[in-house]
Chain A
Amino acid sequence: MDMQFGVMLRGLFDWDDDMTVRFEELMEQARLIDKLGYDCITKGSHFSTYPHQEMTQIPFLCRVMSEAPNVRLNAGIVLMALHNPMEVADYFATMDLMSGGRMIFGCALGYRDVEFKAFGVKKGTGVKRFEENLTAVRRLWTEEKVSMKGSTFELDEARISVPLQQDPHPPIWVGANADKAIQRAARMGDCWYLNPHQKIETLLRQIDVYKAELDRVGKPFPTELPIRREVFCAPTHDEAVELAAPYIKGMYDAYKTWGQDKVMPEEDRDITQEYAELAKDRFIVGDPDEVAAEYIRYNKELGVNHIIMSVQGVGMPQGQVLDTLTLVAEEVMPKVRAA
């Protein structure tokens, strides 16, 4: 598979920001992404984001599909332990149909207490729910009528509401930070969706964990291996760092308050360090040559062939986002493709 270039429309904004304006800007980003020949738009999922504002994932992906008719649409990721499998399976079937078979179904456990409580998910039951839900979703997508009794649902001859466009179903990417979760991704997913927070040397160790588990269960290495990274590109290295650093740092401070660090491998857990330390082997920020070299390095060392760039940190101005999207498309993509 050729290298795929994706963009995550994160869009986290301050609480007093006017979201109707920010929404129009996100639509403008989506149209540009489509026009510049990117392959994919990703939207993540969090609930209860105060003091930040964020578009919720499923409504946003459904709306953006008409602005960006050519790209794949990645739910990266759905907090699978929180949701009901009938709802998720049915929503994504409709989305796959409406988009003409462009959906990617990313899923992971989630980690925030406020979300688990709000969805009535008791601590310690997340993994079981995740596994049962994903099994149920896969069955609903591939069987005519499903009867299955989970611990928090019962499918009684339940049937998907619309047929899927993709055969047999949208790709299932499983997000994972810890080693155990990566092994689960190997067992249950069509691929592991490599996370944005881990340093490259941690990922190098973990890719072996992933491969070993694939071997153990007799599954081949996936044809598509995606990763998400913080990416920013400007004409010069110094300019890129100066423009991006404050916003990426703001993002990571928000992650910290959400408790993202607690589910990361021990060696990577400190995510509130100074920007320079945090950035090393973790963020892809620089001039076009540097960014292209990093993309190629990720491909060579880890085998990833779909790199999803997160650009917009909290409060990053629209012009800056559009500039970096344009620069990456015009100067980075051709270099990476040539290599």
Chain B
Amino acid sequence: MSDIQFGYMTRSQHTRDEDMGECFADLIEQVRLLEKLGYSSFAKGNHYSSDPFFEFQQIPLLCRLMAEAPSMRLIAGIVLLSLHKPLEIAEYFATMDVMSGGKVVFGAALGYRNVEYKAFNIQKGTGVVRFEQNLEAIKRLWTEDKVSMKGEYFELDGASVSMPCVQKPHPPIWIGANADVAVDRAARLGDTWYISAHHRKDTLVRQVEFYKRCLDKYKKPFPAEWPLRREVFVAESREKAIELVRPYLGLKYSTYHAWGQSEPMPEGDTLGLEFDDLLENRFIFGTADEVAAEIVDYCNVLGTNHFITSCQWPGMPHSLVMEGIHRFAEDVMPRVRQGL
């Protein structure tokens, strides 16, 4: 037996012909099932102006869903930190940490979409400095009573959060990163690197070595919690799994590519591929045995101890999402635990 944690990520993105009131009711049901089946965490990403999708907003959604999932950790995975002001984010997450009894994880990354950068008045080229200053300010606000700090786009003048966090010294800080330069930053600034679902496995093997060298450079130990997120689906056969999810996952990734997500990808990789080429070495589809074996391999090769499965994509029927949640918990989790 191992002490691996299993989390679940929802995009909560839907096609614009879906009834969002129904989608929300479905989501509540999904979260209650996750809680019942023993998933240990629930993750939600962050986008604004999610055209062509509808999408629930991350912070409001996590706050509402914590009422349905009293034992699950809540992962903001990730907050587009360059867009926001540090006092606002520090306070929101302190309140969320208190309301959830200390179960919030703060994921953060740069973001990449023009429509978002423009809407938040972030000039191209200032994203990194904003990200770094915001993160430093948030850490200080979480750990000091009163903070004075002058950033380029904010000034904390004896500012405080409205309440201290429950988790000490603060909620875990997971940094999302695609390119090597971002992985280096994640090693320097984060409590851990939150690996995305987009990376190819062979790229990850190389980048995890790179991450370790960066940690050495900054004299930081390897993180105690080491999360990995993957797109996963279990069926009677690999072909069947692919057939079931192709319309939804295919739409998700063609939209990623159109949004510009390919640009910050590690050198030599792109999301602008045909679906059958895209899924190779990247997504985990197959029978319960095949999926479990692949996850065990990731754990052995990369050291993963918090595996976050993602099996809800735009347009996917509620019944299929529920099936994915069931199968992963009932058929895959025990096999992975046994295999480790």
Contacts and interface: CB of A to CB of B under 8 A. Distances in A.
13 contacts: A50-B161, A50-B162, A59-B63, A59-B95, A62-B61, A87-B48, A94-B56, A118-B86, A118-B87, A118-B154, A120-B85, A155-B118, A158-B119
B114 interface: yes
Interface in B93-112: 94-96, 98-99, 101
A282 interface: no
Contact of B119 (A23, A59, A86, A100): A86
Central interface residue in A52, A54, A62, A84, by most chain B CB within 10 Å: A62
Contacts of B159: 47-48, 114, 117-118
Contact of B50 (A46, A60, A161, A163): A161
Contacts of A118: 85-87, 154-157, 159
Contacts of A162: 20, 54-57
Contacts of B98: 19-20, 23, 55
A95 B154 CA distance: 28
Interface string A149-165: 00011111111111101
B115 A157 contact: yes
A46 B162 contact: yes
A84 B89 CA distance: 13
B contact residues, range: 35 or more
A23 B87 contact: no
Contacts of B115: 156-158
A60 B21 contact: no
B251 interface: no
Contacts of B120: 84, 86-87, 153
A275 interface: no
A67 interface: yes
Given A155-B118, A161-B56, A62 B87 contact: no
Contact of A56 (B57, B91, B118): B91
Contact of B155 (A20, A120, A154, A163): A120
B92 interface: yes
Interface of B: 20-21, 24, 47-51, 54-57, 59-61, 63-64, 66-68, 83-88, 91-92, 94-96, 98-99, 101, 114-116, 118-121, 145-146, 153-164, 166
Interface string A52-71: 11111011101101110000
B118 A98 contact: no
Contact of A159 (B49, B83, B92, B157): B49
Given A63-B64, A117-B156, A163-B54, 4 more contacts: A63-B67, A82-B88, A157-B115, A161-B50
A66 B146 CA distance: 33
Contact of A59 (B99, B153, B155, B157): B99
Contacts of A98: 24, 56, 60-61, 64
Given A23-B98, A157-B115, A94 B61 contact: yes
A331 to B, nearest CB: 32
Closest 5 A/B residue pairs (Cβ): A50-B160, A62-B63, A86-B119, A94-B57, A66-B67
A161 B67 contact: no
B49 to A, nearest CB: 4
B240 to A, nearest CB: 32
B154 A120 contact: yes
A195 interface: no
Contacts of A67: 67
A65 to B, nearest CB: 6
A15 to B, nearest CB: 8
Nearest to A152: B121
A46 B95 CA distance: 13
Given A60-B95, A119-B85, A120-B155, A53 B162 contact: yes
B18 to A, nearest CB: 10
A119 B86 CA distance: 8
A120 B21 CA distance: 36
A326 interface: no
Nearest to B145: A50
Contact of B64 (A66, A83, A161): A66
A83 B146 CA distance: 22
A56 B59 CA distance: 12
B57 A48 contact: no
B260 to A, nearest CB: 13
A55 B157 contact: no
A62 B20 contact: no
Given A54-B163, A60-B95, A155 B60 contact: no
Central interface residue in A15, A20, A59, by most chain B CB within 10 Å: A59
A49 B162 contact: yes
A164 B46 CA distance: 19
A94 B27 CA distance: 13
A48 B163 contact: no
A111 interface: no
Contacts of B96: 59
Contacts of A156: 114-115, 118-119
A139 to B, nearest CB: 12
B162 A113 contact: no
A159 B16 CA distance: 12
A55 B96 CA distance: 9
